[in-house]
Amino acid sequence: MSDDLPIDSEALARAEAALAALSKDYLSWAEADLVALRRALADRDWDGLHRIAHNTKGQAATFGYPLVSILAGRLCFLILTHGQPEPEQWRQAQALVDGIGRVLVGSLTGDGGEAGQQLLAELS
């Protein structure tokens, strides 16, 4: 006896359609998150920066922007490994937030192609 439940193809189609509809709005949400990330940087709000980056990391790959997820994940890691940031950590955080902005402005979906790979290399 199998624990697998039959897949309701109509329900799956409805879910995919709903996700596609939400995907159309993702860039406006992501741009609002970018503004919030920049504000947290300007305010030197390390905890707020982490909260926004964590949310961004979780949403971005779902909506076709895995590069944003990678960069936001790197930002989360930076924040979690530096309780009291020094100027160098703020500089690194700024570079990662700027990178997220470049991905969004360039609409670098998927792996971002050559531009995306170059960006990742620059921020390594």
- 83 pLDDT band, cuts 50/70/90, is confident
* DSSP state letter for 30: H
CA distance 8 to 68: 32
- pLDDT given at position 5: 66
| pLDDT level of residue 16 (50, 70, 90 thresholds) | low
Mean pLDDT, residues 58-74 taken together: 92
Domain residues for the domain of 71 are 28-123
Task: Tell me if 105 is assigned to some domain.
Answer: yes
Is residue 15 domain-resident? Answer: no
Are 100 and 77 within 8 A, CB to CB?
Answer: no
Would residue 112 count as lying in a domain?
A: yes
Number of domains in the chain: 1
Please report whether residue 13 resides in a domain: no
What is this structure's pTM?
0.82
Question: Mean pLDDT of all residues in the chain?
Answer: 89
Indicate if the pLDDT at residue 46 is higher than 90. Answer: yes
